[in-house]
Amino acid sequence: MRIAFIGDIVGRPGRKIIKQHLQNIREKYKFDMVIANAENASHGFGLTVKNCQELLNSGIDVITGGNHSFDKKSEMFTLLETKPVLRPDNYPKGIPGTGIKVFDVNNEKLAVINLMGQFSMPTVENPFNWAVKLVDELHEKGIRNIFIDFHGEATSEKRVIFMMLKGLVSGVCGTHTHIGTDDLQVINGTAYLTDIGLTGCRDNVIGMDSKIPIEKATTGLGGHFTIPNACKSILQMMVIDIEDGKAVDCFKLKKYCDKPDIIKTEAIFD
């Protein structure tokens, strides 16, 4: 099976470039499933029912989240009950929804896991121990095709989860920083990227208008981050070919709104 994972979709510019290009990219590269982190898809903070349906209609099959999953709490509660939407599975007990679902893809089982790191994040259960428990349970059920969206601030946490699970899952991709990293690789059949980077405005500050972040950096006074009305945008995705639970090929695709070609970067096999 071939799966694609899209990084943090930020606001209308992120949704727009997906609506314009994802279906064509999906057909060209023959994805069997598209997963996307969309916790910033509605005005940069959270996800609404309307915007969720827009993304699903544009070619996304499963949506993951992170620390902004519950910014629009009531709508998120509805989405977790009615749509293929996940939130980090290691949120404390009692929070609605789940961070793990198993899907049928081309007559095979694919488990999608959403976890969140601990550093500079809301209160969560230990993601490392949590991940081992989930993967062990999936293996006991005979499920080997496993993809993990690890939503974390610290690059070290993402690397730790990869080192712990290499050879045991099909892929691990980091989200949250909105800045793409240059370490796409496959080790022991597990594809890995520290952070896929945002899908949205690429010419501002992590998808947000630059004015308030600059004021905060220079004066210490904060403000409400907003999404620019006009910007140059980018769509970024990680693509993994999986056979018997192992990543046999992996590459990254980048589509710029103002450039005709798709940029493809191959993973290093170590």
> Which residues participate in catalysis according to the annotation?
68
The DSSP call for residue 267 is P
Q: Which of 56, 118, 55 is nearest to 92 (CA)?
A: 118
Tell me how far apart the alpha carbons of residues 172 and 165 are, in angstroms, rounded to a whole number. Answer: 9
Tell me how far apart the alpha carbons of residues 60 and 32 are, in angstroms, rounded to a whole number. Answer: 11
Tokens 């629009």 -> residue: 72
Residue 141 φ then ψ, to 5°: -90, 0
Amino acid identity of 133? K
The DSSP call for residue 7 is -
Tell me how far apart the alpha carbons of residues 185 and 194 are, in angstroms, rounded to a whole number. Answer: 10
Q: Please check whether residue 206 is in contact with residue 228, taking contact to mean a CB–CB distance below 8 angstroms.
A: no
Tokens 């081309």 -> residue: 106
Tell me how far apart the alpha carbons of residues 144 and 225 are, in angstroms, rounded to a whole number. Answer: 41
Tell me how far apart the alpha carbons of residues 191 and 186 are, in angstroms, rounded to a whole number. Answer: 4
Structure tokens, 158:
């993402």
104: left (phi over 0), alpha (psi -120 to 50) or beta: beta
Tell me how far apart the alpha carbons of residues 233 and 259 are, in angstroms, rounded to a whole number. Answer: 10
Tokens 């059920």 -> residue: 141
Tell me how far apart the alpha carbons of residues 263 and 179 are, in angstroms, rounded to a whole number. Answer: 17
